[in-house]
Amino acid sequence: MTRGKLFVISGPSGVGKGTICKKLFEADDNLRFSVSMTTRAPREGEVEGKDYFFVSKERFEELLQDGQLLEYNKFVDNYYGTPRGPVVEWMEQGYDVLLEIDYHGAFQVREAYPEAVLVFIAPPSVEELKARIRGRGTETEEQIEGRIAQAMDDMAQADEFDYLVLNDDLNTAVWKVQQVMRIEKGKEV
């Protein structure tokens, strides 16, 4: 059995990573999504175990100390991280795994798994990105400003990724990520 590949999708908040990932999963039965863990409160409509695993700060820190997280970061006073177990199990079973995480986590994954493929999703413009973040309507102005500042920092890291995909058209961006995955898995494009 061939071991699965580990793909990391990263980019600033509001760039459309979640939508791109959703479309990738709809098109590929061999792709598994690793649900992240967070200490933040669920947003309206988010489902435990589907969108995130919502845990206390104390529980998160226990898992971190026990080495059960592949990567983690603290952002806007909350922890975010990827449970290691499911990722390793799926890859051993031959499934490809997709992580949607920030650049700090992406670089931690690269350290643990140098063969991981890192893809950065970029917005068409800074103005468009700011409009998307504000358009969510789920956060306070202070949180929005924090996300915008973080987005600027995120975009400064794009050159450190294996691939950069511009999300100026959703279907084109999805197609480009699919091509990256095919190339990296050694399939003909």
* Residues above pLDDT 90, as percent of the chain: 66
**Who has greater pLDDT, 102 or 19?**
19
Q: Is the pLDDT of residue 188 over 50?
A: no
pLDDT interval class at 1 (50, 70, 90): low
Average pLDDT for 29-35: 92
127's tokens: 């103005």
Residue 118, C-beta contacts closer than 8 angstroms, at least 6 positions apart: 8, 10, 106, 109, 110, 160, 161, 162, 163
Give every strand in the sheet of 69-75, ordered side by side: 53-54, 37-38, 78-83, 69-75
User: Where are the strands (E) in 23-171, listed by range?
Assistant: 31-33, 37-38, 53-54, 69-75, 78-83, 96-100, 117-122, 163-166
Average pLDDT over residues 151-155: 87
Break the chain into its structural domains and give their ranges. 6-184
- CATH assignment, 6-184: 3.40.50.300
Query: Could you tell me which residue, 57 or 149, shows the higher pLDDT?
Result: 57
Q: Tell which wins on pLDDT, 158 or 1.
A: 158
- Tell me the residue type at 22: K
User: How far, CA to CA in Å, does 35 sit from each of 53, 101, 145?
Assistant: 7, 10, 26
What is the per-residue pLDDT for 76? 77
> What's the sign of the alpha-carbon dihedral 20, 49, 103, 96?
negative
pLDDT digits (tens, 9 = 90+) for 118-142: 999 998 877 777 777 777 666 777 8
Does residue 183 surpass a pLDDT of 90? yes
User: What is the pTM for the complete model shown?
Assistant: 0.84
Rounded CA gap, 24 and 5, in Å? 14
